[in-house]
Chains A and B, each alone.
Chain A
Amino acid sequence: MASPKKPDDCYYYAGGERITLTPAQDLLAFDQAAASKGALDKVVAGLSARPLTSGVSLVEQDQISAKDRQALSQAGALRPVFRAADAILVVLPEIRVEDSRPGQVEQLQDWFSKHCDDVEVESPRAGRFTVRPKSGSGEDALALSNALVEELGAQVSQVRFVRVVPRPGTAKP
C-alpha cells in the first residue's frame, strides 16, 4: 500500500471535503507497546514524553537522536503527527468505514476480501467496518482511508486521530 511520504499525500476526507494536514516537523509520536516489542524501552524511557491515549506518547523531535528515531521507525513504533486548525493530530493505524448503500457495501466487502493479506476487517454493524492495516502503520492507514474514498467512493472512510486541542477552560493567563 502507498504511504503518505510526500506532503501532497497529507490529507484526509471529512464531509466529502479534502482536509489538508501539515506534518508536525517538531513532534514525534511513538507507540509504547511497539517500542517495547522492538526492545526499545530504554530509548523511550529517557524521553520527556506526554502520554496521550491508546499507549501513544508525544515527544519533541529534538529529544531523539537520528539513530534512535531510525530504530523506532524500523520497529514500527512511530506514528504520523500533523497539525490542522488548532489541533495536533496523531494518526493511529485504524480506519472506520461506513456506507449505507447496499451495492456499495458489497463492493467494499469484495475489496476487503481481496486485500485480506494487508488488512484486518471487523464489521460490528451492517454497513460499518473497522479496518486495520496489518503493517501497523499509521501512514498506511491514512493512505488506505483516502484510497477507499477516492477509488471505491466510500461514503465515509475515516482514519483514527488522537487530537490534542486547547483546553476549553479560560483561566486568566
Chain B
Amino acid sequence: MTNLTYYFAGKLVPFQVAPVQAAAEAVHPTGAGRRGAAPHGLTKSAAAKQASHAVAALSEPAEPLATRFHAINRQDVQIAPKFAPEVVVIPTETIILDGAPKAEIKRVRDKYGLELVAEGSHGKCLLRAPEGGVEGLKIAFEAARETYKRGECDAATPNFLRVQRRIKRSSPSAKPWNLHNTGSKGVYGADVHAEAAWTITKGSKDIRVAVLDEGVDTNHVALKPAVVAEKDFVDGHTHARPDNDDAHGTACAGIVLSRDTKVLSLGPGLSLVAVRIAKGDGGDGWIIDDFNTADAIDWAWDDAQADVLSNSWGGGPPVDGITLAFERARTQGRQGKGAVLVIAAGNDQGPITYPGTLPKVLTIGASNEWDERKTTTSQDGEDWWGSNFGEALSLLAPGVHIPTTDISGQRGYSTKNFTDTFNGTSSATPHVAAAAGLVLSVAPKLKEDVVRNLLTTTCDRLSGSKAWNKFEGHGRLNTYAALRAAMRA
C-alpha cells in the first residue's frame, strides 16, 4: 500500500491507493461485518467488474490517454477505493497546475524532471513525471504538494482519472411513439409530450372521461379499475360491453386511461364512463339510433357527470336531437362550467363529418410519427386513409400505429388483450380527450371554452405552418404545454 497526499481547498488530503490485484477487494471490502451488498448499492461483482474495466482501459489506452501517460503496466495501476460509490479514481503520474506563472512552471519542471504534456485553456497545464508506476506517482504528488505550498499558483493537484459507472438506463423505452417518440421511427418529439406532462399529473380519478362508442370491454383488466359508470343505449344491457368483434370503443378507452404498465395511456389516473351508442352491422357499417345517441350524450354529462366526452364516431347528415344534446353538455355540464366535447374529424381525406362540424367543440384530425398530417401519401405507410379537414378542424393528434387495449381474449382486433395497430381520427380523438382530462385534473374550475383554448393555443405547429389552417388546425397536441398553461390560467 502506498500513502499519498495532496492539497485540496487548502487542506492536505490523504489519498490511499491499492495495487490493482486488490482492486475488487478494495472497491468492495469483504472483511468481517461487510457481507452482502456493497455500500451505496454497488454489489461486489459490479465493483470488481468496474475496477477491472478501469484497469483494462488504462492498460490499453486509446487516444488521448496513450500520449499522456507512460506505458501503463497493469501491475502498477493504483485505484482509490472509497472516493465515491459510483466512481473509481485512479491517480496518474501527471499533475495539473492552474494559474502558475511561466517561471514557476519552469521551476517545478526543472526540479522534478517533469515534462509539459499539454497546455489547457485559462492558464492550466499538465505536467508528467519522468517515469510511470508507483515511483511516478510519488514524484507527481510531491511536485504538486510542494508547488501548492509555495503559493505561486492557484492550484496544483494530481491528475486523476475517474472511471464513472455509466448511468444505467432501463431497457430500451417501451413507450409508444404517440406518447414519447424517440425518433427510432419518425421524428423525435413528434408525440403528445406525455412524459413531460406526467411530471405534472397522470390524471385525477375525480375527472371522468366518457367514451361514447360501440361499447367498451369494461371487464378488461387494464380498464376495469377506471370504470365509474357504464350504460348501454343500444340493446339496454346492464353493462356497456360490446358485441362480437366490436373492439373500437375498447381501443379508444385504452388510449385515454389504460392502467396497463406496458400498454400505456395518456391519462392513467382518469376515470371512465363507458357509453354504448353503436354496434356493428356485421359488415363495414355502424348502426346508430339518433334518439338513443342524444339520450346517451345527455346521460353522460348529466347522470354520469362526465367532464369530457370523447366521440370517435360520426357520419351522415346533422340532426337537431344530437346537436342539442351536445349543446346541453357543453353549456350545462360540470355544474355549468361545461363538459369538454372532443369529436373525430373522419377518415376520408375529405370534408369533416358530422358531428365534428359542430361549433365550439374540439374536432380532431390525425398526425403520424413524422409530425405530418395523416394523408394517403404521408410517410407512415397507411395509404388507404387520410384525415378529414375543413373549417371546423381544431387540432391533430397521433392517429397511426397506436398501441392500446383490445377486447379481452380472442375477440377484437387481435387474439390478445392489446393491439398495436389502432388508427384513424378515432385514435387521435381520445388523445385529446385524455389531455382535456389532465388539464381539468390540475385546473378543475376551468370552463370548457378555456380548456378548448388551452389545448389549441399550446399545440406544436407542424412544419411550415405558422397559423391555423384547415388541414392541420392549430397543430399537433402538446399535453405538457397545455398543462403548464392550465396551471397559470
In this complex, which of B320, B346, B385 has the most chain A Cβ atoms within 10 angstroms of its Cβ? B320
Contact A168–B286 (Cβ < 8 Å) = yes
Stretch at the interface among A1-9, A80-88, A103-111: A80-88
Nearest A residue to B312, CB-CB: A168
Q: Is the CB of B291 within 8 A of A167?
A: no
Q: With an 8 A cutoff between CB atoms, is A112 at the interface?
A: no
Binds B, one of A31-39, A50-58, A70-78, A115-123: A50-58
Q: Report yes or no: B315 in contact with A162, Cβ–Cβ below 8 A.
A: no
The residues in B between 316 and 360 inclusive whose CB is less than 8 angstroms from any CB of A are: 316-321, 323-324, 344, 346-348, 353-354
Please indicate the chain A residues that have their CB under 8 angstroms from the CB of B426 in the complex: 168-170
Contact call A85/B353, Cβ cutoff below 8 A:
yes
Q: Check: B280 CB closer than 8 A to any chain A CB.
A: yes
Is B285 a contact partner of A166 (Cβ separation < 8 A)? yes
A173 sits at the interface (CB 8 A): yes
Q: How far is the CB of B214 from chain A (nearest CB, A)?
A: 9
Contact A84 B384 (CB under 8 A): no
Task: Give the interface centre of A161, A163, A170 by most chain B CB atoms within 10 Å.
Answer: A170
Contact of A98 with B by CB under 8 A: yes
Interface pair B316/A96, CB less than 8 Å apart: no
Q: How far, in whole Å, are A94 and B313 apart by their CA atoms in the complex?
A: 23
Question: Which residues on the B side are within 8 Å of A169 (C-beta)?
Answer: 248, 424, 426
Compute how far the CA of A94 lies from the CA of B423 in the bound complex, rounded to whole angstroms: 36
> Closest CB-CB distance, B254 to chain A, in whole Å?
14
Which of A19, A53, A84, A94 is within 8 Å of B234, CB to CB? A53
CA distance A59 to B248 in the complex (A): 26
Q: A166–B424 contact, CB under 8 A? A: no
Q: Who on chain A is nearest to B285 by CB?
A: A164
Instruction: Write out the residue numbers on chain A whose beta carbons fall within 8 Å of the beta carbon of B290.
Output: 158, 160-163
Q: Does B281 touch A at the CB level, under 8 Å?
A: yes
The verdict on A143 contacting chain B, using a C-beta distance below 8 Å, is no
With A167-B284, A169-B424 already in contact, the answer to whether A86 and B289 are too (CB < 8 A) is no
Number of interface residues of B (CB under 8 A): 43
A87 to B353, CA, bound (A): 11
Q: Is A15 at the interface (CB under 8 A from chain B)?
A: yes
For the complex formed, measure the closest distance between the CB of B206 and the CB atoms of chain A, giving whole angstroms.
28
Q: In the complex the two chains form, is B353's CB within 8 Å of A167's CB?
A: no
CB 8 Å contact bits of A129-171 with B (1 = contact, 0 = none): 0000000000000000000000000001110111111111110
Contacts of B248 in A (CB 8 A): 167-169
Which of B384, B424, B425 lies in contact with A173, CB distance below 8 A? Answer: B384
B314: CB under 8 A from chain A? yes
Q: CB of A42 within 8 A of chain B?
A: no
Interface residue? A89 (CB, 8 A): yes
Chain A at the B interface: mostly helix, strand, loop or mixed? strand
**Are A13 and B320 touching (Cβ within 8 A)?**
yes
**Residue pair B315, A86 in contact (C-beta under 8 Å):** yes
> Nearest chain A CB to B250's CB is how many angstroms away?
12
A165 engages B323 (CB within 8 Å): no
Q: Residue B10 at the A interface, CB < 8 A?
A: no
> Complex formed: what's the CA distance from A87 to B287 in Å?
10
Q: Is the beta-carbon distance between A165 and B286 smaller than 8 angstroms?
A: yes
> Across the interface, do A53 and B289 meet the contact criterion of CB distance under 8 Å?
yes
**CA–CA, A96 and B292, complex, Å:** 12
Residues in chain B near residue A168, CB distance under 8 A: 248, 286, 312-315, 344, 346-347, 424-426
The one of A53, A94, A165 that contacts B285, using a Cβ cutoff of 8 Å: A165
Which chain A positions have C-beta within 8 A of B424? 168-170
Does A172 touch B at the CB level, under 8 Å?
yes
Contact B285 A170, beta carbon cutoff 8 Å:
no
Asked whether any CB of chain B lies closer than 8 Å to the CB of A14, the reply is yes
Give A90 to B288 CA distance when docked, in angstroms: 10
What sequence of 0s and 1s flags, for each residue 95-120 of chain B, a beta carbon within 8 Å of any chain A beta carbon? 00000000000000000000000000
Contact yes or no, A158 B286, CB < 8 A? no
Interface string of B202-240 (1 = CB under 8 A from A): 000000000000000000000000000000001100000
Contact partner of A54 (CB less than 8 A), chosen from B289, B313, B314, B346, is B289
A89 to B317, CA, bound (A): 9
Determine if B316 and A167 form an interchain contact, defined as CB atoms under 8 angstroms apart.
no
| Contact call A167/B285, Cβ cutoff below 8 A | yes
Tell me, in angstroms, the Cα distance from A12 to B346 when the chains sit together.
24
Contact A170 B317, CB 8 Å, known A53-B287, A162-B289, A164-B285: no
Contacts of A94 in B (CB 8 A): 291
A53 CA to B286 CA in the complex, in Å? 11
Contact of B385 (CB < 8 Å), options: A52, A96, A170: A170
Q: Which residues of B contact A88 (CB under 8 A)?
A: 285
Sample (28) of A-B pairs whose CB atoms are under 8 Å apart: A14-B319, A14-B323, A15-B323, A50-B281, A52-B287, A53-B287, A84-B316, A85-B315, A85-B353, A86-B348, A87-B315, A94-B291, A96-B294, A98-B320, A156-B321, A157-B320, A158-B320, A160-B289, A165-B286, A165-B313, A167-B286, A168-B346, A168-B347, A168-B424, A169-B248, A169-B424, A170-B382, A172-B382
Smallest CB-CB A-B distances: 4 pairs: A87-B316, A165-B315, A170-B424, A84-B317
